Every structure is written in C-alpha cells, then in structure tokens.
Amino acid sequence: MARYDSLLQALGNTPLVGLRQLSPRWVDEADAAHVRLWAKLEDRNPTGSIKDRPALRMIEQAEQDGRLSPGATIIEPTSGNTGISLAMAARLKGYRLICVLPENTSVERRQLLELYGARIIFSPAEGDPMQRWPRPKSLPPPTRRG
C-alpha cells in the first residue's frame, strides 16, 4: 500500500482498473486486435471527488502566475465538489478560502467545507442563477496587483 506524507501527494494517484468482462475484445496476445475498457477510480481522491485535480491545479497555476501569494484568501462561488476540493487544497497549501454558497446547500456540504476551514457566506437560492452570486457586503473590496 502506498504511503504519502500529505493528502496533496495522494491526490490524483487513483487506480486504473481493467474491465475485462465489459470489454468487447480483451485479448492478451500482442498481435491481436483488441478493445480494452478501463475505469479510473477518481473516488479514491482525498475528498472522494474527481474535482480534487482541477482544484489543486487552479491553485498551483495561480501561484506560478504570481496571482496568489502566501497567506492569500481565495473566494469561490460554489455549491458542490469543486468548493470542497478547493477547501482541502487551500487548507493544505496555507490559504484561506471563502465559499459563497446558495442558502439551500446541504448541511453535509457545509460541514465538509467547514472541516477544511472554509468560511461560508450564503447567497439567495431563489431567482435568476446568474444573479445568485452578487458580491456579499461582508467581503473586503477587491485589490489590484501592480
């Protein structure tokens, strides 16, 4: 069994499993025509979601581009797995995360976000989806990097 020093190291190292009985022609001979189906078990990521990979990649890309500095705060409008994955990655990389969630988000999702240290701000669940993510008054004004 693999051992990792951090959840971030475990992220993405999910198994690839051959689906022999579901494959049209799973042939072991090298010269035979074959069709092999494989399943990537992304539920084995630390948060149980395929979203762990893109969440970490977004943070790492922002770091590389100089748009995210140590101790910064990330703000994410979310209602699902991306927010939970971002919360895990942000926590492990030393960032604060504020998630803007619809007020009807499940208690379980809220608990997972809080477990990873995310601050939650609620937005209205009703109305036009494009208008649900207004800038909450409780957030500080945006700053520009020079």
User: What domains does the chain contain, in order, with CATH numbers?
Assistant: 7-44 (no CATH), 52-131 (3.40.50.1100)
Give the active site residue among 40, 51, 93, 137: 51
**CA gap 77, 28 in Å, rounded:** 48
Long-range contact pairs involving 131-138 (C-beta distance under 8 Å, separation at least 24): 132/77, 132/102, 133/77, 133/100, 136/100
Q: Please give the average pLDDT of every successive group of 10 residues along the chain, which has 146 residues.
A: 85 88 75 78 92 95 94 91 96 95 92 95 77 57 52
Asked if 51 is an active-site residue, the reply is yes
The pLDDT, as a whole number, for residue 34 is: 75
The pLDDT, as a whole number, for residue 146 is: 44
pTM of the entire predicted model: 0.77
